[in-house]
């Protein structure tokens, strides 16, 4: 079933792993080198880059709109991204290296897709896959859509399913598989402290949170403390890409409420998938790859649509020559 869906959607979108074989054959190696160098000083970078790809694709499709610096409509300042989405400078470094090797060739949207695969496979020991390529970059960001479309750390399962359904992703297997990206990376205290101290507004704790884990998290995030302090999303193997995320959910050690809801929502169709991935890492890896490809295929710009930005933070100067042109582009 997935193979048929993938084949059909990929052919429609004209994305192919061989897209740069002639024009920039070393694209993956160039991105990998920048990524590995960045990881020496920033062990979080892999998880941060896959999050950028995720948050890009859920807003207007995979068009690198999240990378645009725009004080009015920029997605960087949207509530789910502000002071949490990160890694932009590493994307800039990847873009600069590619512009040196293959000018005006590789889109910022494709850089995000390749960087995500390399973050999983090269940095974290997870699965590798042939990334479908050929996306082009959009002209506009959409802060309003980012605020309404991106899944949140306190979302109920129904809300998560709604967010995935809105972009055409499967509300069971895609949701659980892509949530598994939380097997590495960090989260700020502000994303889960309500579970520790004031879950329903009366000073209580989240009943789906393991009591030992609760005390551990209270030590890291004391009430009234620094809300930006970081802790591991996966307390077991925090920097490795494996299926421990799902094992954690089974014993009520999901850090974010949105994570734990995959397993602790009574009667949910996601419970069986969590159990399957917990007992079979290969099954998780295979589903994760399929779901990443499906996510990367959300409404890409291809052919003559969009552009290849020379700077991922801004549309090309030739695209917008005046304020009147900017208004025209924004209305398209």
Tell me: the pLDDT tens digits for 11-34? Answer: 344 899 999 999 999 999 999 999
282 three-class SS: helix
SS (HEC) of 10-40:
HHHHCCECCCCCCCCCCHHHHHHHHHHHHHH
User: What domains does the chain contain, in order, with CATH numbers?
Assistant: 26-147+302-330 (1.10.520.10), 151-294 (1.10.420.10)
Per-residue pLDDT, 331 = 39
pLDDT > 90 in the chain, percent: 91
**Whole-angstrom distance, CA of residue 3 vs CA of residue 148:** 30
Which pLDDT score is estimated for 243? Answer: 98
Is position 56 annotated in a ligand binding site? yes
Residue 310 predicted with pLDDT over 50: yes
Q: If pLDDT is split at 50, 70 and 90, which confidence band does 8 have?
A: very low
Q: At 226, is the secondary structure helix, strand, or coil?
A: coil
Q: Is the pLDDT of residue 125 over 60?
A: yes
| Average predicted confidence (pLDDT) for the chain | 92
DSSP secondary structure letter of residue 307: B
92 known member of a binding site: no
Is residue 158 part of an annotated ligand binding site? Answer: no
Q: What percent of the chain has pLDDT over 70?
A: 92
User: Collapsing DSSP states into helix, strand and coil, what is residue 231?
Assistant: strand
- Tell me the pLDDT tens digit for each residue of 209-256: 999 999 999 999 999 999 999 999 999 999 999 999 999 999 999 999
* Predicted confidence band of residue 319 (pLDDT cuts 50, 70, 90): low
pLDDT at 4 over 80: no
Rounded to an integer, the average pLDDT of 78-102 is: 97
63 labeled binding residue: yes
53 is in an annotated binding site: no
- Distance between CA atoms of 31 and 53, rounded to whole angstroms? 14
Report the pLDDT value the prediction gives residue 11, as an integer from 0 to 100.
Answer: 36
The answer to whether residues 85 and 143 touch, using CB atoms and an 8 Å cutoff, is no
Query: Is 65 annotated among the ligand-binding residues?
Result: yes
Q: Using an 8 Å Cβ cutoff, are 108 and 309 in contact?
A: yes
Q: Helices marked H in 72-197 — which ranges?
A: 88-101, 108-118, 143-149, 157-166, 173-179, 193-197
Confirm or deny that 234 is annotated as ligand binding: yes
Question: What DSSP character marks residue 51?
Answer: H
Residues with catalytic roles: 55
For range 263-284, the mean pLDDT:
98
CA distance linking residue 258 with residue 63, whole number of Å: 26
Q: How many CB atoms lie within 10 A of CB 8?
A: 10
Strand partners, 31: none
Q: Which residues pair with residue 16 across a beta bridge?
A: 133
């Amino acid at each position: 079933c997935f193979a048929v869906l993938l084949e059909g959607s990929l052919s429609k979108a004209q994305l192919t792993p061989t897209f740069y074989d002639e024009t920039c054959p070393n694209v993956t190696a160039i991105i990998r080198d920048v990524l590995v160098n960045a990881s020496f000083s920033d062990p979080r970078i892999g998880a941060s880059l896959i999050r950028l790809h995720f948050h890009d694709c859920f807003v207007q499709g995979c068009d690198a709109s999240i990378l645009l610096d725009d004080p009015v409509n920029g997605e960087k300042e949207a509530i789910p991204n502000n002071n949490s989405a990160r890694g932009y400078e590493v994307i800039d470094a990847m873009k600069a290296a590619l512009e040196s090797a293959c000018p005006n060739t590789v889109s910022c949207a494709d850089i995000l897709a390749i960087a995500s695969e390399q973050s999983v496979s090269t940095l974290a020991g997870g699965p590798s896959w042939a990334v479908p390529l050929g996306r082009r970059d959009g002209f506009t960001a959409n802060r309003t859509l980012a605020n309404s479309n991106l899944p949140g750390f306190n979302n109920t399962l129904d809300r998560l399913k709604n967010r995935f359904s809105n972009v055409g992703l499967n509300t069971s297997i895609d949701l659980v598989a892509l949530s598994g990206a939380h097997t590495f990376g960090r989260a700020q205290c502000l994303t889960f402290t309500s579970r520790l101290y004031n879950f329903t507004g009366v000073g209580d704790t989240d009943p789906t949170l393991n009591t030992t884990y609760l005390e551990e998290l209270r030590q890291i995030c004391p009430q009234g403390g620094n809300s930006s302090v970081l802790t591991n999303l996966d307390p077991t193997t925090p920097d490795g890409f494996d299926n421990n995320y799902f094992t954690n959910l089974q014993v009520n050690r999901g850090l974010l409420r949105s994570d734990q809801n995959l397993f602790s929502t009574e009667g949910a169709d996601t419970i069986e998938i969590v159990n399957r991935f917990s007992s079979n890492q290969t099954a998780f890896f295979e589903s994760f790859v399929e779901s990443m490809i499906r996510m990367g295929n959300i409404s890409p710009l291809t052919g003559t649509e969009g552009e290849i930005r020379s700077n991922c933070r801004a549309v090309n100067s030739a695209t917008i020559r005046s304020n009147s042109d900017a208004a025209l582009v924004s209305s398209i």
